[in-house]
Structure 1
């Protein structure tokens, strides 16, 4: 049987970097949001055209699933291995405020770097397709809409992305660019790497009236404001500091004129947690908190707390494998083990609940900003697309080496 040799995807990725940068900048100009991304899907299909891939498009969303069937030899007594690589494609409902020559002008923005994720995954498909005869297994490329909401991983799982090759993947990998970290720096940690997220909505109902006579009404606006402040006091006094929670109220809606006291006021926000127990506590306590404050002012409060994505939890063995691969490719100075999770959230977590794998953070700060680096989701944020070669190379390397490891087990991987 053929011995599977090591492949230098890092060197090969450098050769296709200009192509990936051009593709990323084209994607950046046409961001789309949610699960309906027709322009983005068309660009992905165009970029994959001609590669030796089985292409599947989504039924309920504009996803793309591409399957590479490797032609490398697999022993007759060995199950054919499969690895899944995922990249998300959607943007944000945000107007771009950069001076980039390829900036979006359609009112949406790739402010979280998903255009880099898409281009990087296409790069991995290009690299692996060039070694079809060497790959003793299958690789699934999962191009996912809706990560920012309403969630694209769940419907893709329901439509069979995890069974597209005929069997479940042995491992899943993905990565996320981070605007405030040094370009080319990889970060990872075993177990929880990103928070789970839920949505909070509280509607305070009072009694409207004339703005000149508030005593004849029951004004819900100051009650809603008091609840916003009380949420932060609640977090500091009632939540275990070793199982942290972050609540951010991002929307407050009330009223239609400056001289009218409205009947109701609504606030909406996000809830970030690192454990299911913390979310259960929030879901139990916040209705009591908001209703108590509202009743003290003669109003009523209706509170909804809905779980959105669970925490992103890396498999310890797969994390150790990723660290080994990253260190071999880029050296230990470019690989950081995070001390704490990142409190952002990801629906890649749903894949990790079903298949062992790991999620990687890749710094993409262009290093040219005079002020403190901006974060993902800022309308002014800029990502350095020089990291695309690294993204493509590590995804391809992980897929190839993990497939080969099932044919010829690797040694030296220890749990972090």
Structure 2
């Protein structure tokens, strides 16, 4: 397995060059045409066995081992950028105004291409099939993963397990791999709520049906969902992040709007939250005389890491990079990822790993216009994904 890391280091210049090319030419979800063309071109160059595009900007490739039939393992990388104006000052900064790879997907693509090159060189050493999934539109709901599962991306051949990896900015763990069995990322559900009442003069509130008062009552009641309606052992956050209503200081408006995002690690809790939001809306509407409309945008499920697959990945990490490269995450992360659809919508187990990638300059979060992670972490990502795929096929 140590040879895999050596190959990843030998190929690092090409992987970094690919990353920089993709970074300079970001494309948002469902418009990743140039990126998809580049992926297909490199896969053809490396000699994969089959290339398909279930949707125009997603690419799926197969690499068959020469030792015969066996299991099928999928490796996934998301490929889309964000509508963000880059402020990193990097020499390979985005050349597209208002778009940027601020979530590391450029690194994901380049690393999975690096994996493809190594696996094509090592066909003689494994049985079974590696399915490479270059997924479109992760950062635009409803998410490209859902669409790919619906179009049969996990079939023909049937996938037995799927692995993914996300780069993560940090200060002192560059090139190390974070693992965590069980829930890793939260679900996400957006609630846009409109309260329609009857406006009037501020001196005569008794002649109105005040939507601002009703909205404020509802905001307060919604904050009771995590503390009073959900088991306290469950993690639930439901912040209200926007609120609008009224323009004049002496006029009660006819309408108020607010919105919030609910997150939890337990997909079953999502239904409880929705039920409570609906009941609160109906109750506030009845008491206030206002009409309360709830627009529920169903986001991504929580991502759950299969314990056996995490153990497979852990073994591969130790054999490829050494035991010191393993970081046991003490707790899951609060962001959301549509990788979860690959397991939620099928019987396929999955595992999602974190590659700590440091940061150029002051540490900022993903999606920040100054987000710039270190390319020196990428060979570790290539090596671990390659090693994990081979370890699973050998098991």
Q: TM-score, normalised by structure 1?
A: 0.84
Could you tell me how far 1:313 is from its partner in structure 2?
1.1
- Provide the residue aligned with 2:14 in structure 1: 19
- Judge conservation of contact 1:314–1:352 (CA < 8 Å) in 2: no
CA distance in 2 between partners of 1:177 and 1:38 (Å) = 23
- Judge conservation of contact 2:176–2:380 (CA < 8 Å) in 1: no
- Provide the residue aligned with 1:45 in structure 2: 40
Map 1:111-260 to 2 at 5 A: 111-148=102-139, 149-163=141-155, 166-180=156-170, 182-208=173-199, 217-221=208-212, 223-225=214-216, 227-252=218-243
Map 1:401-412 to 2 at 5 A: 401-405=391-395
Q: Deviations over 1:25-70 (max 9, x none)?
A: 22122222223321221222233231212111123x5100011122
Could you tell me how far 1:328 is from its partner in structure 2?
2.2
Could you tell me how far 1:345 is from its partner in structure 2?
1.6
- Provide the residue aligned with 2:356 in structure 1: 363
- Provide the residue aligned with 1:392 in structure 2: 382
Distance 1:273 1:12, change over 3 A: same
- Judge conservation of contact 1:30–1:106 (CA < 8 Å) in 2: no
Q: What is the RMSD of the two structures over their aligned residues, measured on CA atoms?
A: 2.6
Equivalent residue pairs, number = 389
Could you tell me how far 1:225 is from its partner in structure 2?
5.0
Is 1:325 paired with 2:316? yes
Map 1:47-62 to 2 at 5 A: 47-53=42-48, 54-59=50-55, 61-62=56-57
- Judge conservation of contact 1:35–1:151 (CA < 8 Å) in 2: no
- Judge conservation of contact 1:287–1:304 (CA < 8 Å) in 2: no
- Judge conservation of contact 2:186–2:264 (CA < 8 Å) in 1: yes
Distance 1:257 1:112, change over 3 A: farther
Map 1:294-313 to 2 at 5 A: 295-313=286-304
Extract unaligned runs of 5+ from structure 1. 1-5, 406-416
Q: Deviations over 1:301-332 (max 9, x none)?
A: 11233432222111111111111111222233
Is 1:80 paired with 2:76? no
Q: TM-score, normalised by structure 2?
A: 0.89
Could you tell me how far 1:205 is from its partner in structure 2?
1.1
Q: Deviations over 1:261-285 (max 9, x none)?
A: 6533333332211113311110111
Most deviating of 114-123 and 351-360: 351-360
Distance 1:119 1:216, change over 3 A: farther
CA distance in 2 between partners of 1:225 and 1:30 (Å) = 44
Distance 1:294 1:356, change over 3 A: same
Question: Which SS does the other structure have where 1:142 is aligned?
Answer: strand
Extract unaligned runs of 5+ from structure 2. none
Question: Which SS does the other structure have where 1:100 is aligned?
Answer: coil
Could you tell me how far 1:108 is from its partner in structure 2?
2.2
Could you tell me how far 1:122 is from its partner in structure 2?
0.9
